[in-house]
């Protein structure tokens, strides 16, 4: 690498590292992961230096793509962390034994219905129905729009109701 190319890369590093770090940190919400992505982005930019006409734009594009990859691969585990609805029972205490048995059956039926929902839809439904989260909290926690939360809730209610209705025919 020539001195002028090294000087240009050093200048890019000095001028961009803080902004890039903040940008990536907002995308992945992890300081450690952001540092790794920033480092990898600079390395890839340096590797492609001869083919890149706008190094700063290329650098930020690489970082954005790496951050999206990280988010995409971490999403399933995000839903798994929510747990399931197994701790939520429909049984009301203090009733006759028949009521407890019916409550257990209803609870199992609801768990079966919820388990059939797609992962993100299930996560939205569990957060709303069993954890009492607001639409806004769900949207922030799952990093989706409030409209997507509404759509998932509508689908979850429709699908769980349909499942229960089919089981009791």
The tens digit of pLDDT for each residue in 52-99 reads: 888 888 888 889 988 888 877 765 544 555 555 544 544 445 556 555
Nearest by Cα to 111 from 127, 79, 89? 89
Token pair listed for 99: 């009521």
pLDDT band at 102 (very low <50, low <70, confident <90, very high): low
Q: Under CATH, which number does the domain 3-74 receive?
A: 1.10.1740
Domain 97-167: which topology?
Answer: Arc Repressor Mutant, subunit A (1.10.10)
Name the 3-class secondary structure at 43.
helix
Q: Are 111 and 125 in contact (CB under 8 A)?
A: no
Token pair listed for 107: 């609870």
What's the pLDDT tens digit per position in 112-148?
A: 888 888 988 888 888 888 778 888 888 888 889 999 9
**pTM metric for this prediction:** 0.44
Residue range 105-110: mean pLDDT, rounded = 75
Residue ranges of the domains in the chain?
Answer: 3-74, 97-167
Q: Which class for 100: exposed (0-12), middle (13-18), buried (19 or more C-beta within 10 A)?
A: middle
């Amino acid at each position: 690498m020539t001195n002028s190319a090294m000087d240009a890369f050093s200048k890019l590093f000095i001028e961009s590292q803080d902004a890039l770090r903040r940008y990536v940190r907002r995308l992945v919400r992890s300081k450690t992961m952001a540092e790794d992505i920033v480092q990898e982005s600079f390395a890839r930019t340096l590797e492609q230096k001869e083919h890149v006409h706008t190094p700063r734009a290329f650098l930020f594009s690489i970082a954005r793509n790496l951050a999206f990859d990280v988010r995409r691969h971490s999403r399933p585990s995000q839903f798994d962390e929510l747990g399931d609805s197994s701790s939520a029972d429909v049984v009301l205490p203090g009733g006759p034994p028949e009521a407890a048995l019916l409550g257990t059956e209803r609870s199992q039926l609801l768990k079966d219905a919820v388990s059939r929902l797609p992962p993100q839809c299930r996560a939205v439904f569990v957060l709303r129905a069993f954890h009492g989260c607001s639409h806004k909290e769900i949207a922030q926690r799952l990093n989706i729009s409030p409209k997507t939360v509404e759509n998932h809730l509508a689908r979850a209610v429709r699908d769980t109701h349909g499942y229960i209705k089919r089981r009791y025919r």
